[in-house]
Amino acid sequence: MTPQSIVTPSPLLDVTNLTKHFVLSRRAPWAPAPSVKAVDGVSFALDRGETLSLVGESGCGKTTTGKSVLRLIEPSGGSIRLDGEDVLSLSPTQMRRRRRDMQIVFQDPYASLNPRLPAGEIVAEPLRNFDDPAWRSARQREDRIAWLFSRVGLRPEAMRKLPAEFSGGQRQRLGIARALALNPKLIVCDEPVSALDVSVQAQVVNLLMDLQAEFGIAYLFVAHDLAVVRHISHRVAVMYLGRIVEIADRDTLFNNPAHPYTRMLLSSVPSPRPGAKAERVLPLGDPPSPFKPPSGCGFHPRCPFARAECRETAPALAPPAAGGPPSHRVACHLAA
């Protein structure tokens, strides 16, 4: 199944030069405070009804980017605009109202649900917090919760069960129902299927795609599983050491990757055909420390094609020399 996006003139979400630096404790009173550049100048746009996936190795800044967009983590700099409104300029009261349009599905369905609350109360919590007149009475909320349960594939009579009585896939469906409760425009999916069995992963991914087609929701999808990413995405951004090194539509990135790191990621995917021999492209050495990122291109210590220019100057995101769609951009001196 191919995901269908809703194309609009202006993007729903516009992120420009987003940064998040974590300042650590000083090793000595006279020493400068060290910092980790978890996100270092990330820029992208997301249309209504579109899925943009963030992929890369653990620790590259994918989850921090998603949480910074929602201001669950306060960014260090940059610009985040939702529907043209500057999210970073909002006061806490204004941001609370804006959160109706921005929700999240967490990675761990076992840790993201209150174990003491019945499932119906977990999904009803957003409705009570925002005190919407449409769901102010107990009967209105119960009808809304029953509809949400049925929409995500749960029986309405399960509203009185505790989370411990659900399987992992059912718990993740609860998390999706909670995120849908306020009719959001944007949902950040932080590895929503990584803790689930493969068969359950397919059910949850197809559910997300069906909900997107029905309600026009935009997804910022964080994942490691490239097979899931290829199935659900419209566009894919590859992150390395806090930066986007390549961004393109799904088919272009999987069929014609331009960055050496992207090629290495794709070559690590096992072939579904038994006995098939695929060429493996392995990076050199280990990932560099985020405390002391390398100069120039962050990937050059592991890149077999690195040259002097790569060690001295950080490449900017630009269209590759080989051509292709205008949305395809890569941060590599060799590709440019």
Q: What is the mean pLDDT of residues 292-302?
A: 89
pLDDT in tens, 229-242: 999 999 999 999 99
Q: How remote is the C-alpha of 323 from its chain's centroid?
A: 27
At 187 the pLDDT is 97
Task: Examine the pLDDT at 251 and tell me if it is beyond 60.
Answer: yes
Instruction: Indicate the helix (H) or strand (E) that contains 199.
Output: helix 198-215
Nearest 5°: phi and psi at 265? -60, -45
Task: Output the DSSP codes for 150-202.
Answer: HHTT--GGGGGS-GGGS-HHHHHHHHHHHHHTT--SEEEEESTTTTS-HHHHH
Rg of the chain over all Cα atoms, to the nearest angstrom = 21
Q: What is the mean pLDDT of residues 112-129?
A: 93
At 273 the pLDDT is 67
Task: Examine the pLDDT at 115 and tell me if it is beyond 70.
Answer: yes
pLDDT in tens, 3-23: 654 445 689 999 999 999 998
* Size of the chain, expressed as the number of residues it contains: 336
- The CA angle 309-256-317, to the nearest 5 degrees, is 40
